[in-house]
Structure 1
Amino acid sequence: MTSYTFADPRLATLDGFRVELDAARERADLVLDRPPLNVITMPQRDQIRLVFEALDEDDRVRVIVLRAIGEHFSSGGNIKGFLEASPETVSKLAWNMAAPARCSKPVIAANRGFCFGVGFEISLACDFRLVSETAQYALPEQKLGQIPGSGGSARLQKMVGITRTKDIVMRSRRIPARQAYEWGVATECVPDDKLEAATDALVDELRAFSPLAQRTAKKLLNDTEDSTLSIAIELEGHCYSRLRNSDDFREGVEAFHSKRAAKFRGS
């Protein structure tokens, strides 16, 4: 992997993280790098949003991985920063941390150790959460006299329901990796020393699909999360119809009948 270079001057010096590019594997990694706990600062949140927006526009990147250095993904935000930040800054917290969800490309979060507060919230905004058996998820804001402010309680409730979300949020409960997997919060739970291999495998799996079909599927699923069943089915039909005329769909059908691997181009 090589260090990623941004044209945006606001990303000339990254605060507490780095970005790496593996062009051969069409992969970009956003790596939290403020060990031992990878605390996420207020300025860092703005930069993370900008990075996702830049990677979304980069044709060299098919899949984005969000991971961290060390034994903990992130213990959460910089606590003093909340009191120092202006109301305007605080109002952008959820928007910034929703950047993985807005990104049209698949985003994988690789979580181990502590994944608390904003660390959990940005992971919830990703499409896939791979967890090692050491991982613990938590939204501990009640201990500070606060509530989650970056979309955590809202996203979690969609995944596990109001009863479990109240248990996690109102009691600041830690959820171990295996339980997170059983509840449908985590995509896959693996031994700690297999997390990188599982991430690599998922990247390669996702790259084998049509990028056009993947972007369409992600947007459709995100857009219909809150819709009625009839509207979701209607929108699914429209998306299917648009893909019907794509080069990738034709290639997929021809490859199927020829019993060969498809070579998708994203058009």
Structure 2
Amino acid sequence: MENLIHPAHMLLSELDGFSVEIDVSRERADIVLNRPPFNVISMEQRDQLRLVFESLDHNSDVRVIVLRAEGEHFSSGGDIKGFLEASPEHVSQLAWNVAAPARCSKPVIVANRGYCFGVGFEISLACDFRIASDTVQYALPEQKLGQIPGSGGSARLQKMVGITRTKDVVMRSRRISGAQAYDWGVVTECVSDDELEKATDALVDELRKFSPLAQRTAKKLLNETEDASLTTAIDLEGHCYSRLRSSNDFREGVEAFHSKRSAKFNGT
């Protein structure tokens, strides 16, 4: 068994351009982009971010994951030179890596401020909740390089805002503010820059009050029925509802409601 080797062991030996902080007392993990001043995301970093999300998904001490950045900018995007150097096989994995927050069964919050361009925007779109500072500027500027978004950005954005607005953003490399993104339904909340951390903390604490099992079920159901017909979505919702009825968390929730006390969920 000691001869078994997996590339992930080496890949995570030294994190490239970000750090991970776990606060067990608050059941929270923070993935912090930290390559100042613009937090450019390298090709290797994308692989590492995927593996870290997968690791945190299996960490029983973590209920909620926060993706944030040091400094005044979330991320100006990817390492442009890295695209020319990367192999076709590596490039083909870009969308899979960036989709890691969506695949993660736990709630993922992203806190955005300043530049949020390219892959910075794409990975934010893959999160469940986007809290935006009023300083944020979102963009998919790949047209300026003779390219298109390659990590799911145009596809996710189109699902949220429709084809007309997506063409406006993608084909014109147009920037949108946090306020406009909120009006379009892209972000969950837009706050003043000095309130970004406070708003993120409040959402973490709110999500921790719910049943982990019900949260995982809701996320999986909503993700998997996004492209489904209404009939199929309602049918799947009913199956999920039925399964949760036999859970300890549902029993605890009902008993707490009738006892007029706060429920204490354990995720079973």
TM-score, structure 1 as length reference:
0.97
C-alpha distance in structure 2 between counterparts of 1:141 and 1:120, whole Å: 12
The corresponding residue for 1:177 is 178
Q: Distance in 1 between matches of 2:150 and 2:127?
A: 17
Instruction: Name the structure 2 match of 1:15.
Output: 16
Indicate yes or no: 2:178 matched with 1:199: no
Q: Which residue of 1 aligns with 2:89?
A: 88
Distance in 2, Cα, partners of 1:12 & 1:258? 50
Shift of 1:12: 1.6
CA distance in 2 between partners of 1:40 and 1:203 (Å): 25
- 2:44 aligns with 43
AA of the residue aligned to 2:151:
S
Rounded Cα–Cα distance in structure 1 between residues aligned with 2:39 and 2:252: 44
Cα deviation for residue 237 of structure 1 reads: 0.1
The RMSD of aligned alpha carbons is 0.7
One-letter code aligned to 1:74: S
2:33 corresponding residue in structure 1: 32
What's the offset of the Cα at 1:9?
3.7
1:167 alignment partner in structure 2: 168
User: Matches of 1:264 and 1:186 in 2, distance apart?
Assistant: 28
Q: Match for 2:183: what amino acid?
A: E
The whole-number CA distance in structure 2 between the counterparts of 1:94 and 1:9 is 22
Which amino acid letter does the alignment assign opposite residue 140 of structure 2?
Answer: L
- Provide, for residues 189-211 of structure 1, a one-character-per-residue CA deviation record: whole Å limited to 9, x for no partner: 00000000000000000000000
Q: Which residue is 1:156 aligned to?
A: 157
Q: How does 1:83-232 map onto structure 2 within 5 Å?
A: 83-232=84-233
- By how many angstroms is 1:24 displaced? 0.2
CA shift for structure 1 position 253? 0.3
Any idea what SS the aligned residue of 1:149 has? coil
Deviation at 1:22, TM superposition (A): 0.4
2:236 corresponds in structure 1 to 235
Stretches of structure 2 that go unaligned for 5 or more consecutive residues are 1-7
Measured in 2, the distance between the counterparts of 1:9 and 1:149 equals 26
Q: Deviations over 1:239-259 (max 9, x none)?
A: 000000000000000000000
CA deviation string 1:6-61 (max 9, x = no partner): x9442120000000000000000000000100000000000000000000000000
Q: Structure 2 CA distance, aligned partners of 1:254 and 1:44?
A: 46
How far, CA to CA, are the matches of 1:145 and 1:26 in structure 2?
43
Question: Residue 257 of structure 2 aligns with which residue?
Answer: 256
Aligned match of 2:266: 265
Percent identity, aligned pairs only?
80
Q: Write the deviation string for residues 121-148 of structure 1: whole angstroms up to 9, x where unpaired.
A: 0000000000000001000000000000
Provide the rounded CA distance (Å) in 2 between the counterparts of 1:215 and 1:19.
22
For 1:53, the equivalent position in structure 2 comes to 54
Secondary structure at 2:130 match in 1: strand
**Structure 2 Cα separation of the partners of residues 50 and 224 of structure 1:** 25
Aligned to 1:74, the other structure's residue is in SS state coil
Deviation sequence 1:155-192 (CA, Å, 0-9, x none): 00000000000000000000000000000000000000
Structure 1's consecutive aligned runs of 4 or more residues displaced over 6 angstroms after TM superposition are: none
| Length, aligned pairs only | 261
Alpha-carbon distance in structure 1 between the residues aligned to 2:9 and 2:59:
13
Q: Which amino acid counterpart does residue 87 of structure 1 have in structure 2?
A: P
Distance 2:178 2:83 in 1: 28
Query: How many angstroms apart in 2 are the aligned matches of 1:209 and 1:68?
Result: 26
